Amino acid sequence: MQTFVNLSCAALIFLFQVILLLLLLLPNLGFVNYTRVRRMVQQLGIIVVLTCLFSVLNYGVESSGGLSYNFYEKTCPQVENIIRDGLKPVFSSDITSPAALLRLMFHDCQVQGCDASILVDQDSEKNGSSEMTSTKNFAIRQRETISLLKSMVEVACPNQVSCADILIMAAREAVATSGGPRIEVPLGRRDSSSTPSYELANALLPPSTIGVEELLQIFVNKGMSVEESVAIMGSHTLGVTHCLNIKNRLYEGEEGPITGMEHGFEAFLRLSCPKNEESIMSKSRFVLNDPTALGFDNLYYINAMSGHGLLRIDAEMVMDSRTTNFVRRFGSDQEAFFQAFSSAFVKLSSYGVLVGKNGVIRKRCDVVD
Ligand code: HEM
C-alpha cells in the first residue's frame, strides 16, 4: 500500500514537471495567456506535492507492518470498549487471569505469528493436531475467554474482527488492569486458516531452561533491541511458575550447580518444590514469579538482582554483560521499563502477522472453518 502511494505521487509530480517544461518551451501563440496557465499549473503542482507529503507521512504514522492504529474505525469502532467491558467480570472473578492472558498472547505469537492458532481445538475428524497438545503449553489458560469476547464482538460487528486481534487487545488490557502501561496496539491481524502445528509449537516455544543467548536469538529475530528483549521478560512480573518448570534448575541442572540464586531463596524453593515428589504434584504446586505477582511493576528486576529469580534466564540476565545494565535500569526506573516494554509488546504482537488478503476472519476462535 505504502509503495503504491509513493509510486502514484512520484508519477503525478513527474507529470506536472513535464507540463511546466512544455509551457516554458512552447512558442507563445498569442491567443493563450501563458503566464496565467503556468501559474495555475505551478499552484496545482504545489497542492499535489503537499497532499503527497501528507499522505506518505500520515501513512507512516497509522501503519505498522500492514497493521494500523485505526483499523476498525469504520467497521467496528466500539470493539475496544466491548473487549474492555467484557473482561471486567473475568478479571474480578479470577485474579490470575491477567497473567494467563499475557502468557497466552506470547505462546500464540511465538508460533507462526499472532494468528490465534493457539485457540484452535484438536479436530479428531480432520486428524488435526493442536498446539495445545504440546507440553510447552502446559498451564496455558483463558483460551475460552477469547472465544467469549469474540461472541460479544460478533453480535456488534459480524465477520469483521479477528480472534488474533481480540487476543492482543485482551493481553493489552491484562497489562493495563494490573497497573502496567496502557499500550497503543496497531490492529488488522487475520486468523490462520490451516490446522495449527503441534510440532511447530514444540520446536518454537522456549523451554524453561534457556539462557541469555537463546533469549536474544528469539527476540532480536523479531526486530527487538537487547533493551526490548530484557523488557519483554518483565512480563514475569505477573503470575506463577509450577514446580515442574524449576525442578530442573534446582536438582538436575544441566549447567551444574545453581548460579546466581541466593541461598535462603534456594532453600525456600527446595521446600516448596521437593525433589522426589510425584510428577502430578509438581504439576499442581507453584511459586510466585515475584512477590507482587498480581501487579505489573518493576519488582521482577529488583527480585532478580537480589538472587530471587526463579528461572535460569532471570539470573543470567543479571550477570551477562549484554543485559545487566538494562536489568539495573529497569529495577531503578519503572517508567523506563514501561516504555521499553510497550515498544517490545508492539513488536512481539506485530511480528509475522497475516494481513490483507492472507488468512481469514474466523467465525469461531476454536475452529478452523
Ligand atoms: C522467551 C523466554 C521465556 C521463557 C523461557 C518463559 C518461560 C515461562 C515459564 C517456564 C513459565 C511458568 C509456567 C508455569 O509453570 O505455569 C512462564 C510463565 C509466564 N510467562 Fe513466560 N517465558 C518467556 C517469555 C515470556 C514472554 C515474552 C511473555 C509475555 C509477553 C511471558 C509471559 C508469562 C506470564 C505472564 C507467565 C505467568 C503465567 C501464569 O501465571 O499463568 N513469558 N514463562
Lowest mean pLDDT among 61-65, 67-71, 84-88, 256-260: 61-65
Task: Yes or no: say if 189 and 64 are a contact pair by the CB < 8 Å rule.
Answer: no
Q: Write down the domain spans for the chain.
A: 78-239+289-350
Average the pLDDT over 152-163 and give the result.
98
Which residues lie closer than 8 Å to 64 by C-beta, 6 or more apart?
186, 346, 350
Which residues have any ligand 1 atom within 6 Å of their CB?
A: 96, 99-100, 102-103, 106, 139, 206, 208, 210, 215, 218, 232, 235-236, 238-242, 245, 289, 313
Using CA positions, which residue lies closest to atom 5 of ligand 1? 208
Question: What is the Å distance from ligand 1's center to 238 Cα?
Answer: 9
Neighbours of 278 (CB within 10 A): 9
Is the pLDDT at 2 greater than 50? The verdict is no
Which residues lie closer than 8 Å to 55 by C-beta, 6 or more apart?
5, 9
Per-residue pLDDT of 123-133, as tens digits, reads 766 656 789 99
206 assigned ligand-binding residue: yes
Q: What is the model's pTM? A: 0.85
Q: Give the confidence band of 301 by pLDDT, cuts at 50, 70, 90.
A: very high
The pLDDT, as a whole number, for residue 62 is 41
Q: Give the confidence band of 34 by pLDDT, cuts at 50, 70, 90.
A: low
The pLDDT, as a whole number, for residue 282 is 75
What CA–CA distance (Å, rounded) separates 43 from 250?
A: 74
Largest CA distance in the chain: 103
What CA–CA distance (Å, rounded) separates 352 from 358?
A: 11
Residues above pLDDT 90, as percent of the chain: 73
- Ligand 1 binding pocket mutation candidate from 90, 106, 240 (most atoms within 8 A of CB): 106
Is the pLDDT at 108 greater than 80? The verdict is yes
Active site residues: 107
Using CA positions, which residue lies closest to atom 12 of ligand 1? 241
Average the pLDDT over 186-208 and give the result.
93
Q: Give the confidence band of 63 by pLDDT, cuts at 50, 70, 90.
A: very low
Is the pLDDT at 32 greater than 70? The verdict is no
Ramachandran category for residue 17: left, alpha or beta (phi over 0 → left; psi -120 to 50 → alpha): alpha
Which amino acid, one-letter code, is at 100? A
Per-residue pLDDT of 239-269, as tens digits, reads 999 999 999 999 976 656 788 999 999 999 9
The pLDDT, as a whole number, for residue 286 is 97
Angle (CA) 332-209-319 rounded to 5° is 35
Q: Give the confidence band of 140 by pLDDT, cuts at 50, 70, 90.
A: very high
Q: Give the confidence band of 277 by pLDDT, cuts at 50, 70, 90.
A: confident
Task: Yes or no: say if 190 and 120 are a contact pair by the CB < 8 Å rule.
Answer: no
What CA–CA distance (Å, rounded) separates 282 from 138?
A: 12
Provide the CATH number for the domain formed by 78-239+289-350 in this structure.
1.10.520.10
